[in-house]
Amino acid sequence: MAAADSPSAALRRRDLCSRGIRLAGKMRVDVIDLLDAYVERQGLDVSSLDSSVAAVEGVPLAAVERWDEQTGTQRLLENLAAYRAFRALLAQMLEEQREQLGEADAGLGRALASVLLQVSAFAYHLEELLRLESRGVPGEEEEEEGEEEEDRPPPPPRLSIFEQKLRGLGVLRELAQWAVRSARDLRQLSKPSPATGTASGLAESP
């Protein structure tokens, strides 16, 4: 709390929000470009696959009800969870893409790596903001362990190549939506709202 009240912390917070908003914007642009390249390179027919692309497992949905009622911390935590999931999924996609195409399509690999870096950077922004909120950053292992303790999911089945492609398509689509939501979340956080926002958010946060 003390950190959140200091002027430097407020400045830092505003800077992080501003930068995060622009990073989210760029990430969305890059992801959309990547989506086009991905569909083309993977030989996917987007129009016929719309119904086949299911929600990506392990990633919170960007669309949420009563979005405006969420607290700041809640927003940050949801974002952090989503981008950590994206980071893992994109890393897996990158690995699979290298296995499938090798160095034949280095451009797609570079684009994937670039998006992965941006996701990673955005996650860093979120962690910093959470730190500024005097809120501990949940560890990735902790989350996983916690989840594991509560409801250990069965190990993911080995997917076929086509399924990998479909999952990749779903990851990128969801990431594009999350980029939009994240920008809105950070814009909401950067508003010089009364202390209620932060305080209440923090208070309400689990």
Partner 1 sequence: MFSRWNWVACGFYLVLNICSPDASSGLVQSCGHIIPESPVLPLGSNFTALCILNESCLDFGNIYANQIIWKIKNRVVPKEQYHEVNKTVSSVTFNDTSSLATPLTCNIVADGQIEQNIYGITVTVGLPPEKPKNLSCIVHQVSRLTYHMTCTWDPGRHTYLDTQFRLRYSWPEDIFPDCIPKDVNNSCTVHDVHFFVNTEIWVEAANALGKAESDPLVLDPVDIVKPLPPQNVSVMSTVLPTVLALSWENWISHTVIKLKFNIRYRIVGDRNWMEVPSEDTASQRTSFSVQGLRPYTEYVFSIRCMKEDGVGYWSDWSEEKTGITTEDIPSKGPPIWRIIDTSHSPASWIVHLLWKALKPFEANGVILQYEVTVRDKSSLSSSLKKYNVTSTNHTLQLPNATYEVTVIARNSAGASPPSALLIPASYSKAPVKNLRTLPKHDKLWVGWTAPNSYVVKYVIEWCLVSSCSDCIIEWQIAPGDVQGIDLKGIKPFKCYLITVYPLYADGQGSGQSVKAYLKQDRPSKGPIVQTKKVGKAEAVLTWNHLTVDEQNGFIRNYTIIYKTIDGNETVVTVDPSKTEYTLSPLTSDTLYTVRMMASTDNGSRSGPDFTFTTQKFGKGEIEAIVVPVCLAFLLIVLLGVLFCFNKRDLIKKHIWPIVPDPSKSNIAQWSPQVPAKHNFNSKDQMYPEGSFTDVSVVEIEADDKKSFSEQDLKPFDLLKKEKSTSEGHSSGIGGSSCMSSPRQSVSDSDEGETTQNTSSTVQYSTVVLNGYRDQTPVQVFSRSESTQPLLDSEERSEDHAGGADSAAQRQQYFRQNGGQDETNTDRPCFERAKQITHANEGDLVGFVQLQISGQSSQPLGLGMEKNTQEAALSNVLQTSTEGQTVRPETVEENRLSVDEMPKSYLPQTVRQGGYMPQ
Positions in the binding site for partner 1 (CB under 8 A): 19-20, 22-23, 25-26, 28-30, 33, 110-111, 113-114, 117-118, 120-121, 124-125
Q: How far is the CB of 181 from partner 1 (least distance, A)?
A: 15
Q: For residues 120 and 205, which CB has a smaller minimum distance to partner 1 in the complex?
A: 120
* Dist. CA 73–CA 85, nearest whole Å: 18
- Residues 6 or more apart whose Cβ sits within 8 Å of residue 111: 30, 33, 34, 37
Least distance from C-beta 76 to partner 1, angstroms?
Answer: 17
Rank residues 32 and 199 by Cβ distance to partner 1 and give the closer one: 32
Between 24 and 171, name the residue whose CB sits nearer to partner 1.
Answer: 24
**Complex with partner 1: residue 120 or 188, whichever CB lies closer:** 120
Q: How far is the CB of 93 from partner 1 (least distance, A)?
A: 18
User: b/e for 118-152, b at 16 or more Cβ within 10 A?
Assistant: bbbebbebbbbbbbbbebebeeeeeeeeeeeeeee
Quote the tokens at residue 162.
Answer: 């086509």
Q: How far is the CB of 26 from partner 1 (least distance, A)?
A: 4
112 in Cβ contact with 97 (< 8 Å): yes
